[in-house]
Structure 1
């Protein structure tokens, strides 16, 4: 695995006592009042404003540090910058690299962490009618057909996933799904996880990795924090 963009930056964030990593204070003012929103915000808001309003804030998170990722903290900045050796697996590659699935009208990613070493990327995307359901279907199809793994590449490097496992779909939203994927880094197996929920025309994708495992060079198994998912999903439906 050549690239360490996401994992290395994530580990550095944790090593720096979970403080600022490519984010300004105004993005996550812990003293701000929690934003109340639903998955169907006012029509006067643009799609970008909608996802910004729906994103959980640090004040709402229950003790998490919530920030925007730093530039370069991903294998690719867009779907167009990423290639996948098995085309059917592209939706999975996007979900595990901070990118939206399908063709959203707007998308926004923040990351959240505590001192546990688990780093979770929350990607919220809003879609035109019918597009969110289509995106979920493509992700479900990919999860079911890419069990033997695949390789995702960009100009920044590449990641070869050795296996993908479909896990029990979590409750919540109009539909949901979950996956676990493995790859090796410095000879150690890393297991990362995703949970994805659709609320009407909005999709929330959670991608978690064990940054302490990368930082300390040992095998790692990511666990998506249920409390964070609960708080974020509560804003969506």
Structure 2
């Protein structure tokens, strides 16, 4: 990465993470966004039979009790207060294609399905010790891994339908879509199915390519996992990986640690 490019990315990373609210793709849509249209393995999904027909949704307060706590994931800092730059509700942001809203919601720690029971928090990988040279120090400063974790809960088979809307959207939105948040528009240029972890009762993984205002494309990974009637979402950003369009993978250790609290 050229030093000038690093400087630009570093600047974006330090302004109260305000730019992150856009590049994370935090999006929204209408209540019709949960309509379904056929999921498949090809859209990055893995699943097991339903066990949630009579399930009752947990409240947002109950979901917060399932957050990871400080010290429960080695090498990571947990902030249960969440990130103030991200939207608190779906009404704060819009997508130009309703079918794509579940993807934007999953990336923003919002519920990808139709429920009011949701909560989110952030998990940051502890940075490496800063090296002595200016070049190495800049490299270390950019190597910050941010993870946005969302939990949502549903009555009946709502969690399964929520995961299906994500799976459907991966296919329907392959050509991209536009997000409007905080008065700014962000262009998602492409959506591709990822390899799901196979964790929980079912999981979906996808990546999005985002236009960086003429400075190239950045790629971001997201995973959605269902355990019973609770859906967890994981969205990962690392500024050091933005150059060249490389995505930072969702940490397996984070998914495992969170799912352990949902079982």
TM-score category (smaller protein): 0.7 to 0.9
Query: What's the counterpart of residue 194 of structure 2?
Result: 167
Query: What's the counterpart of residue 47 of structure 1?
Result: 59
Query: What's the counterpart of residue 262 of structure 2?
Result: 236
Distance 2:168 2:162 in 1: 10
Q: Does 1:63 align with 2:114?
A: no
- 1:60-106 superposed Cα distances (whole Å, 9 cap, x missing partner): 111211112332x12x3321222211111111111122221112242
Distance 1:154 1:13 in 2: 17
Q: 1:46 to 1:184 in 2, by over 3 A?
A: closer
Asked if 2 retains the 8 angstrom alpha-carbon contact of 1:89 and 1:146, the reply is yes
Distance 1:106 1:220 in 2: 33
1:14-163 to 2 correspondences below 5 Å: 47-67=59-79, 68-71=81-84, 73-74=85-86, 76-114=87-125, 115=127, 116-163=143-190
Distance 2:90 2:16 in 1: 27
- Number of equivalenced pairs: 200
TM superposition shift of 1:229: 1.1
Asked if 1 retains the 8 angstrom alpha-carbon contact of 2:58 and 2:153, the reply is no
Rg comparison, structure with higher value: 2
Q: Does 1:206 align with 2:212?
A: no
Q: Residue 248 of structure 2 is aligned with which of 219, 222, 234?
A: 222
In structure 2, the gaps of 5 or more residues are 1-8, 18-51, 128-142
Distance 2:250 2:13 in 1: 17
Distance 2:152 2:12 in 1: 22
Distance 1:151 1:102 in 2: 19
TM superposition shift of 1:147: 0.7
Distance 1:13 1:175 in 2: 37
Asked if 1 retains the 8 angstrom alpha-carbon contact of 2:107 and 2:233, the reply is no
Asked if 2 retains the 8 angstrom alpha-carbon contact of 1:104 and 1:132, the reply is no
Task: Normalising by structure 1, report the TM-score.
Answer: 0.75
